[in-house]
Amino acid sequence: MAEFDGIKEAHNKIPLGWMIFFVGVIVWLVWYIVSYTPQISGWSQYKVFEEEMEAASGVKEEAAQENPYEYSAAAVKEGKALYVSNCSVCHGADLKGGVGPDLTGSLKYGDEDREMFVTVADGRPGGMPAFRQQLGTERIWKVLAYVDSVRERGERP
């Protein structure tokens, strides 16, 4: 303990609580910098924004195995209108075929929801155009809800 001009220099220990808080702040700061520095963690506000937009726009439905609109009468109705303006030119107003094949019978690329989605979204080599850009995921599912409703009607005696 030093003494200058009668003033004592005291070496009091920092209270433990302060020490813990102080170290905690430093640890948090390092963590924060590491997590939010794009060069280190790859975090970017654009990526976060895109993820949020994707979630909001239903692009995630993209990966759905089953048609989310299968039992929706409103979607089938909308799908019918979409079919008339986008598909009937090749597949016929009654889906019985024309330039494109009959859609009410067995389908060579598969009649599972997922397979038909891929057919319409990405197209097929024999002249089936890709509709992913033009219609987007939701409307493709709606068109297919309509196509399925006609197929099921056709199967009934």
Q: What does the binding site for ligand HEC look like in residue numbers (CB under 6 A)? A: 86-87, 89-91, 99-101, 103, 107-109, 116, 119-120, 124-129, 131, 143, 147
For residue 134, the minimal CB distance to ligand HEC (Å) is 8
Q: Which is nearer to ligand HEC, 76 or 87 (CB)?
A: 87
For residue 25, the minimal CB distance to ligand HEC (Å) is 58
Q: Which is nearer to ligand HEC, 24 or 129 (CB)?
A: 129
Contact 82, 146 (CB under 8 A): yes
> Residue with the closest Cβ to ligand HEC?
126
Q: Which of 147, 9, 139 is nearest to 61 (CA)?
A: 139
Token pair, residue 142, equals 């709606």
Q: Which is nearer to ligand HEC, 44 or 97 (CB)?
A: 97
Q: Which is nearer to ligand HEC, 69 or 131 (CB)?
A: 131
Q: Which is nearer to ligand HEC, 59 or 128 (CB)?
A: 128
> CA 62 to CA 64: how far, in whole Å?
6
For residue 80, the minimal CB distance to ligand HEC (Å) is 11
Question: Both ends of the chain: CA-CA distance in Å?
Answer: 104
Q: Which of 141, 150, 153 is nearest to 67 (CA)?
A: 141
Contact 95, 86 (CB under 8 A): no
Among all chains, which residue has been given the structure tokens 């799908």? 79
Q: Give the dihedral sign, CA 32/34/39/41.
A: negative
> CA 142 to CA 73: how far, in whole Å?
10
For residue 77, the minimal CB distance to ligand HEC (Å) is 15
For residue 113, the minimal CB distance to ligand HEC (Å) is 11
